[in-house]
Amino acid sequence: VHERSILPEHRQAGQTVIAFPGNIQGRHIREQGARGALLVTAQADEITDIQLLEVDVLRWQQLDVELGQDDDMASALQAAGRALEHLLAETPAHLPLAVRVVFTGTTPAHETLLAQDEQLRQEIIAQAVAQDAERIWIEKVKVATRPPQAATSPSQGLPDALADLESLVLSAQDDPEFINDLISDWQAILEKLPDDVRRLSPELKELRQDPLSQLTARVQQALPLLVDRIERVQSASPR
């Protein structure tokens, strides 16, 4: 009942109409978009019009930014900036926005975005501040991209030790003992989280309910972070 719904969508004379206004204010990212009440106009026994009256004072919005084969970190940030600008333009000027930026698509920038996720978040926040600090709050920046097909095999050009590590991590997805240990670790961590945190995060809910379906994606997300961390430590160590 928190989502607006009018049934049937295409009304005919004499039909019964069921109208749910939803809630009048979104409370989190799962309740995004315009919120308000429904103004129903009727003549005699016939509903002639149903109009949304927007009354929300803050609007939640997920902003999907699709990347492609030619994108890198810089072009991803530019695309996000354009998307934020467009979102501002199409939202009533009096409304502040709580925005989740989600990068999607198949792109060679996948590993870079994951490895530099904190820098990515700070850059997006800086863009939001530059465009309108009073109206945009970045709730979260999420990388949901995929690497090109060729990138799912061990990377070329890595030092031998890192290439071996990458092969080991990728092959571990087929190791039942590794899978059981990893799922056990996930469940132990999830059980320690507060209930409200688990409820507000669809990703955590999916991870808890069906960890096997998340395995490949999570391992592939962790791999570039692990390699990047090792390379940073190596570059910072005295030779």
Separation in Å, CA 184 to CA 177, 188, 191 = 11, 6, 11
Lowest mean pLDDT among 54-58, 105-109, 125-129, 225-229: 225-229
φ, ψ at 212 (rounded to 5°)? -60, -35
Question: pLDDT for 151-183, tens place per residue?
Answer: 444 455 455 666 666 676 667 667 788 778 878
CB 113 within 8 A of CB 144: no
Q: Quick one: 161 and 85 in the same domain? A: no
Region 185-203 average pLDDT: 75
User: Domain containing 36: what range?
Assistant: 5-54
pLDDT at 12: 77
The CB-side HSE value for 32 (13 A sphere, CA atoms) comes to 13
216 vs 16, which has greater pLDDT?
Answer: 16
Q: Quick one: 104 and 182 in the same domain? A: no
Q: Quick one: 30 and 113 in the same domain? A: no
Q: Quick one: 19 and 32 in the same domain? A: yes
Look at the chain and report how many structural domains it folds into: 3
| Domain final residue, candidates 129, 152, 175 | 152
pTM to 2 decimals? 0.66
φ, ψ at 7 (rounded to 5°)? -125, 135
pLDDT at 142 exceeding the cut of 60: yes
pLDDT at 84: 97
The mean pLDDT of the chain is 83
Region 74-80 average pLDDT: 96
Q: Quick one: 182 and 239 in the same domain? A: yes
pLDDT at 173: 66
1 — pLDDT class (breaks 50, 70, 90): low
pLDDT at 68: 95
Q: Quick one: 75 and 50 in the same domain? A: no
pLDDT at 53: 94
| Domain final residue, candidates 136, 152, 168 | 152
Q: Quick one: 208 and 234 in the same domain? A: yes
Region 183-202 average pLDDT: 76
What counts of helices (H) and strands (E) characterise the chain?
8, 7
Q: Quick one: 84 and 126 in the same domain? A: yes
d(CA 188, CA 2): 32
Q: Quick one: 113 and 64 in the same domain? A: yes
238 — pLDDT class (breaks 50, 70, 90): low
19 vs 208, which has greater pLDDT?
Answer: 19
